[in-house]
Amino acid sequence: MENQNQEQPIRKDSNKIYFLVVVILALLGTNAYLFFKDKKANDRIVTISDEKTRMQTDIDKIEAELDNASSTNIKLSEQMQNEQTIAREKIQELRAALKKGQLTQGQLVKAQEDIRQLRYFVTKYNADIAELKKQNASLSTERDVLKTAVDSIGTKANDLERQNQELNTKVQAAAALKTGNVSVSAFQIRNNGRESSVTRASTAEKIRINFSVVNNSIAEKGLHEVFIRVIDPSGNLIISNNGGLFTSDDEELQYTYKTAIEFANDGKVYSIDWANPGDFQKGTYTVVLYTDGFTMGRGTISLR
């Protein structure tokens, strides 16, 4: 009986020990679970933080590529401009999202997808820019070729115009009337109205210019204005009251007297009278005739 009483306390102590061991093991298991849970959470936080940093770096690269592509002197189409605007707005949205303190797994996945789409867009955008550059280079080459052709045509046109002008000038010169024999005589008008030829300056009142026109089949038939310049013995041009300006041989001149003749290319002899409004001087007078923009001929008379 005494041995049975001793065994009962020993069993109670053993049960307590077993219980304590179980509790200790449970506590150790709980601590281990919490340790690994915390470690996994810390690893996940580090992973998400690293992913955010990587995505921010990707966004910086994408934006730098977009800026580099946009810095070219290429005129973008309206569609490309709109696409660029949308891409920059998306970049700003991603930057704002990544600045937030926390990102859910779904938000992180969506951000990663947005970055992939942006990377694809920038790649396509750069390819479009390169194609535009290629097209512009081709257009520039075509433009330069056309410009060279136009310049060449312009040069030829200018040469032809110059040649035409020279030819027209030659034709005009050839068509201008030229005098044959020119004779100049002085006359005195008597009281009865009759004229008498004189050789003295003191009695001369007018001069008569007789001339013929050289045969010219290309000259225009009809009236031709004739301008006359009378140079006195001192070399001065005599200007009468109706004297004015005309152009001959590309030079503007004053004339002494102006009239017109009817040209028919028939060998006719023409006669033009000019009355001196002043007195004649002793010496030689020179008479120059002009028509059709060119010098027609000249003659002289000497008065004693």
pTM: 0.51
Same domain for 206 and 115? no
Same domain for 11 and 129? yes
Report yes or no on 152 lying in a domain. Answer: no
| Number of independent structural domains in the chain | 2
Report yes or no on 156 lying in a domain. Answer: no
Report yes or no on 172 lying in a domain. Answer: no
Report yes or no on 146 lying in a domain. Answer: no
Give me the tens of pLDDT residue by residue for the chain, a chain 304 residues long. Answer: 445 555 555 555 566 676 666 666 666 666 555 555 544 444 444 455 777 778 778 878 877 877 776 666 666 667 777 777 887 788 788 777 777 755 666 666 776 677 777 777 777 777 877 787 788 788 888 888 888 888 888 888 888 888 877 777 777 777 788 998 899 999 998 888 889 999 999 999 999 999 999 998 888 899 999 999 999 999 999 987 766 899 998 899 999 999 999 999 998 999 999 999 889 999 999 999 999 999 999 999 999 9
Same domain for 272 and 199? yes
Residue position matching structure tokens 């797994």: 105
Phi, psi of 233 (to 5 degrees): -60, -20
Domain with 230 in it:
179-303
| Beta-strand pair 179-189/222-231 | unpaired
Burial of 255 (0-12, 13-18, 19+ CB in 10 A): buried
Tell which of 134, 149, 168 closes a domain.
134
Report yes or no on 128 lying in a domain. Answer: yes
Report yes or no on 148 lying in a domain. Answer: no
Tell which of 75, 107, 134 closes a domain.
134
Phi, psi of 293 (to 5 degrees): 85, 10
d(CA 263, CA 180): 14
* pLDDT for res 42: 41
DSSP string, 83-123: HHHHHHHHHHHHHHHHHSS---HHHHHHHHHHHHHHHHHHH
CATH code of 249's domain: 2.60.40
Tell which of 81, 116, 134 closes a domain.
134
Q: If you ran DSSP here, which 8-state letter would residue 220 be given?
A: P
Same domain for 208 and 121? no
Report yes or no on 184 lying in a domain. Answer: yes
